[in-house]
């Protein structure tokens, strides 16, 4: 994935890696095209626009001709990997019969693909995904093939080969006739007819038959076991002569077949450029269809690409496919993300379980998908291209390092790329240290980006710290959080009384929507309610509420004293 995903596990943490790995490619050429794919970077806006428009165009065609696209996908699944044969041709090495078959099968496949593309409307596909015709090569390598293609060195390739094969077959017929006479003679005497090249076994209890067999010139004793004596037909002088002729003809036939294969290899080499071009075109087509299938599954849309010099990031009703699937699988209701970022640094606050981390992952995923040439899972999107994406989610400890130390080490990556345009997604930096210093560190980090960024980077930071947005004078977004009505709270109280405390109530009443608020808007205080809903001992929760009120009173008293002194 190169340097586009900064940090150790950004691609995995935003969910891109799983989607990319599960992008279904049906053919070896398709997998090769996917392996060399890369994201479009700043300065490649027009190229990305073309990439995305191709998907939109083919999506429309698929909706119109679903049966033809199903046929097309089935044909691509049958493609043999031609690249080993192509490598041999590049090295000017002779192809074997098996490799000639692979090339012939490629030509056969191209003919079928072109036929289907013409039925759909070939002008609706990008030129790079349309293979050149290999019909002449197909006729040459697969003469007379009908249905499933089969390659063999046929008589049509060489008159001399045809003559030698005919003579060999005639000699073999004569040899069978000669040996059949021997077998018939044995049958008349022993009452058993041996195969022309098979053994005949006589039980030792039939001593008279064994004696007769040993006296017959047509049979030769070859081995003896505990229970049987084994014989085989002896070849007559004429049969021996015929065998020599047959062996000579077989050797000649093999030599002529090798000559044919060498000639075909030279002819195929002359079309190397067309063969390689066809292989890559089939791969491009396979890769394009895989992206179209994903877009149709998500009902994804084409994002709008902003001007190079702009700083725009707008998402309307975006969803994270993996999270949406997980939420809906347990009967929950997934709430999409809408956000509009037009400044270098933005802060998001919200309650525990409010979806802040999912919001960051969704933003990062949509940008990554778009820059890798995929349609995005949302209602609408507009964005600027980035040189890299960095996502620093909440992490656990690593051997020898605390979670805070891991976090600090990871932050070196985006800081080292301050002179590039990045999408930097920070999730509660400093949570692993004391709150005062954590807030100071977070503010300093964001301030550094604001002061040193010259490329139009976008930094989105989630936090529990109150006042971070106002300290920096940056836009403040907030997850709405828990907004239960009085009836909801009464229902919740009845559930507590009856001992029914589970997480479902939270999912039903958490409002994950983002709203733009003032810099000094306090962070939602839902921790105690969440603790109560999740079944923490009621006595503990009540004590916490008392301590919370006591702490607030103390803080207000300190602020009042300070004001009076001033």
Q: Is 230 in contact with 222 (CB distance < 8 Å)?
A: yes
**Same structural domain, 224 and 344:** no
What does 275-292 look like in DSSP terms, one character per residue?
Answer: HHHHHHHHHHHHHHHHHH
| Interval 38-84: pLDDT, tens | 999 999 999 999 999 999 999 999 999 999 999 999 999 999 999 99
Q: How confident is the model at residue 394 (pLDDT cuts 50, 70, 90)?
A: low
Same domain flag for 35 and 176: no
Could you identify the residue written with the tokens 């014989």?
Answer: 231
Regarding whether 276 and 230 lie in a shared domain, the answer is no
* Number of structural domains found in the chain: 4
Q: For 300-307, what is the mean pLDDT?
A: 93
Q: Is residue 153 part of a domain?
A: no
Q: 452 and 546 in one domain? A: no
Q: Are residues 52 and 125 in the same domain?
A: yes
pLDDT score for 455: 87
Report if residue 355 sits inside a domain. yes
pLDDT for 204-250, tens place per residue? 899 888 888 888 888 888 999 999 999 888 888 899 999 999 999 99
User: Do 453 and 336 fall into the same domain?
Assistant: yes
Same domain for 219 and 336?
Answer: no
Top-confidence range, 139-143, 313-317, 560-564: 313-317
**Are 277 and 354 within one domain?**
no
Helix ranges (H only) for 191-230 are 207-215
Instruction: For residue range 194-217, list pLDDT tens digits in order.
Output: 887 878 888 989 988 888 888 888
CA dist list (Å): 311 to 40, 339, 386, 457:
17, 14, 10, 7
152 located within any domain: no
Q: What is the largest CA-CA distance in the chain?
A: 135
Burial class of residue 422 in the structure, from the number of CB atoms within 10 Å of its CB (0-12 exposed, 13-18 middle, 19+ buried): buried
Is there a domain that residue 154 lies in? no
- Are 319 and 443 within one domain? yes
**pTM recorded for the entire structure:** 0.82
Cross-strand pairs, 481: 511
354 and 477 in one domain? yes
Is 560 within the bounds of a domain? yes
pLDDT, position 551: 59
CA distance 336 to 260: 64
Token pair belonging to 73: 């996908």
Task: With H, G, I as helix, E, B as strand and everything else as coil, classify residue 478.
Answer: strand
Report the pLDDT value the prediction gives residue 483, as an integer from 0 to 100.
Answer: 61
Q: Over 50: is that where the pLDDT of 519 sits?
A: yes
106 and 224 both lie in a single domain: no
23-32 in b/e burial notation, b at 16+ Cβ within 10 A? bebbbbbbbb
Question: Of 242, 261, 279, which closes a domain?
Answer: 242
Give the range with max mean pLDDT: 5-14, 51-60, 156-165, 512-521: 51-60
Taking all residues of the chain, what is their mean pLDDT, rounded to a whole number?
Answer: 86
As a whole number of Å, the CA-based R_g of the chain is 38
- Give residue 521's pLDDT band: very low, low, confident or very high (50, 70, 90): confident
**Which of 298, 302, 386, 392 is CA-nearest to residue 341?**
386
CA–CA separation, 292 and 286 (whole Å): 10
Mean pLDDT of 413-429: 92
Residue 203 DSSP label: E
Domain extent at residue 127: 21-134+271-298
Strand partners for 380: 316
**What's residue 552's pLDDT?**
56
Residue 417, in any domain of the structure: yes
Mean pLDDT across the stretch 379-397?
84
């Amino acid at each position: 994935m190169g340097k586009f995903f900064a940090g150790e596990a950004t691609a995995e943490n935003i969910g891109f890696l799983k989607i990319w790995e599960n992008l279904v490619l049906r053919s070896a050429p398709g997998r090769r095209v996917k392996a060399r794919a890369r994201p479009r970077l700043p300065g490649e806006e027009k190229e990305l626009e073309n990439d995305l428009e191709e998907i939109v165009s083919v999506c429309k065609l698929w909706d119109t001709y679903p049966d033809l696209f199903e046929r097309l996908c089935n044909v691509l699944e049958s493609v043999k990997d031609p690249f080993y044969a192509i490598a041999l041709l590049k090295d000017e090495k002779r192809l074997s019969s098996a490799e000639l078959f692979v090339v012939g099968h490629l030509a056969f496949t191209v003919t079928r693909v072109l036929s289907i593309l013409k039925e759909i409307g070939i002008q609706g596909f990008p030129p790079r995904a349309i293979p050149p015709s290999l019909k002449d090569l197909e006729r040459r390598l697969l003469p007379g093939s009908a249905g499933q293609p089969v390659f063999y060195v046929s008589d049509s390739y060489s008159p001399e080969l045809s003559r030698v094969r005919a003579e060999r077959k005639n000699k073999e017929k004569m040899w069978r006739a000669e040996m059949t006479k021997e077998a018939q003679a044995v049958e008349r005497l022993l009452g058993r007819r041996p195969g022309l090249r098979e053994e005949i076994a006589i039980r030792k209890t039939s001593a008279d038959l064994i004696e007769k067999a040993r006296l017959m010139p047509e049979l030769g004793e070859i081995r003896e076991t505990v229970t049987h004596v084994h014989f085989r037909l002896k070849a007559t002088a004429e049969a021996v002569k015929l065998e020599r002729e047959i062996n000579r003809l077989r050797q000649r036939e093999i030599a002529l077949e090798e000559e044919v294969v060498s000639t075909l290899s030279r002819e195929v080499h002359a079309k190397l450029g067309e063969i390689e071009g066809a292989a890559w075109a089939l791969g491009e087509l396979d890769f394009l269809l895989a992206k179209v299938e994903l877009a149709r599954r998500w009902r994804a849309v084409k994002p709008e690409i902003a001007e190079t010099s702009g700083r725009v990031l707008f998402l309307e009703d975006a969803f994270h496919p993996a999270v949406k699937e997980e939420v809906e699988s347990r009967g929950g209701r997934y709430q999409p993300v809408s956000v509009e970022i037009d400044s270098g640094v933005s802060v998001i606050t919200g309650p525990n379980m409010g979806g802040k981390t999912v919001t960051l992952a969704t933003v990062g995923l949509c940008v990554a998908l778009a820059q890798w040439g995929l349609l995005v899972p949302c209602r609408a999107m507009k964005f600027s291209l980035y040189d890299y994406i960095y996502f620093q989610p909440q992490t656990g400890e690593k051997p020898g390092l605390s979670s805070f130390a891991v976090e600090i080490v990871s932050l070196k990556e985006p800081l080292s790329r301050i002179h590039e345009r990045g999408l930097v997604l920070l999730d509660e930096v400093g949570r692993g240290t004391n709150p005062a210093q954590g807030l100071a560190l977070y503010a300093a980090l964001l301030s550094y980006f604001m002061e040193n960024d010259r490329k139009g980077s976008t930094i989105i930071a989630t936090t529990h710290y109150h006042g971070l947005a106002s300290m920096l004078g940056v836009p403040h977004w907030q997850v709405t959080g828990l907004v239960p009505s009085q009836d909801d709270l009464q229902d919740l109280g009845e559930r507590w009384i009856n001992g029914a405390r589970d997480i479902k109530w939270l999912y039903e009443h958490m409002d994950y929507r983002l709203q733009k608020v003032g810099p000094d808007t306090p962070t939602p205080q839902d921790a105690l309610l969440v603790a109560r809903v999740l079944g923490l001992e009621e006595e503990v929760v009540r004590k916490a509420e008392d301590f919370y009120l006591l702490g607030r009173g103390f803080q207000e008293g300190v602020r009042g004293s300070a004001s009076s002194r001033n």
